[in-house]
Amino acid sequence: MINIYNWLCNRVNPALFSFQQGQLRRMQKSGGMELQLGGVLAKWLSRAAYTERSSILVQIKELRRESCKSQQKINRLDFGAGNRNLVRDGDFSKANETTLGKIVSRETKPDFWAKLLYLLVVEFKPETIIELGTNAGFSTATLAAGLKYNQNGSLISLEGDPSLAEIARKNLADLRLDRVEVITGLFSDTLPGALQKLKSLQFAYIDGHHDELATETYFEQILTHCEPGSIIIADDISWSDGMKRAWSKIKTHRQVAVSIDLKSIGIVITGKPGGKQNHYSFFLI
């Protein structure tokens, strides 16, 4: 795994680089899904994946770049934990007028992180995915692009803001990505039905309502539909003290076998209740 980026990291911060390499070796030795996950992380951390040309990922990146500049007015219903006035679905009296450009640039994951989601879907080939927090559909498109590559699987993505959900549906249609359904409504209202629809769940991405209790509740709900070997990703795990606590509880949950702490994102692989746990953390150099 010698490439220019790795070589540079080794020069800039040899101690951190060697710590990371040690962790990746530990993952390789464990075998099974841990070995696979280590392979994905090694590829992603070394930026090697950037040399790959996937036209759909380039299209998503371009569309996001254009959307970041968009002056399209949006009556934003903010359901996130950042807004104390949690708005009930459809109550536009508390909506704030803003632009699509501001929303996309502040709230959606840039290309680098999206690439990780794509690599995970391509590697683990989940048949079912749930996403909490569609926004304008960029991470959704990346997950759906992974399913398209696999030619298998379906994705349900949940979004509270109807205008954003509509924009996401249009973006997904423009990108010709199917295998995905965007459902509008509060997570608390839509998650149970979506989980019922997907039945057994193999992959989940929680990227909305970054509140300690809410995150733990969504995680528990999702877990009830997971077999050992499912992947659950929680975003913004260092965003607040509450989110740090939520992540600590998630990664040590008795149904978790492996946890990866990437500071901004946390990934877990589910296991048999009470089984052995392996925890890893990586610092982005």
CB of 216 vs ligand SAM, minimal distance in Å: 14
Closer to ligand SAM by Cβ: residue 34 or 211: 211
CB of 43 vs ligand SAM, minimal distance in Å: 21
CB of 18 vs ligand SAM, minimal distance in Å: 32
User: Which region holds residue 240: left if phi is over 0, alpha if psi is between -120 and 50, else beta?
Assistant: beta
Instruction: Kindly state the helix (H) or strand (E) to which residue 235 belongs, with its residue range.
Output: strand 226-235
**Bridge pairing between strands 256-261 and 265-270:** antiparallel
**Bridge pairing between strands 180-184 and 154-159:** parallel
Query: What does R_g of the chain's alpha carbons equal in angstroms?
Result: 19
Q: Are 219 and 250 in contact (CB under 8 A)?
A: yes
**Which residues of the shown chain bind ligand SAM in the complex (CB under 6 A)?**
79-80, 107-109, 133, 135, 138-139, 159-161, 164, 186-187, 207-209
Closer to ligand SAM by Cβ: residue 100 or 257: 100
CB of 14 vs ligand SAM, minimal distance in Å: 33
Closer to ligand SAM by Cβ: residue 154 or 277: 154
Which are the contacts of 219, defined by CB distance < 8 A and separation ≥ 6?
206, 232, 234, 246, 250, 253
Q: How far is CA 24 from the centre of its chain?
A: 21
Closer to ligand SAM by Cβ: residue 29 or 65: 65
Closer to ligand SAM by Cβ: residue 37 or 164: 164
CB of 141 vs ligand SAM, minimal distance in Å: 8
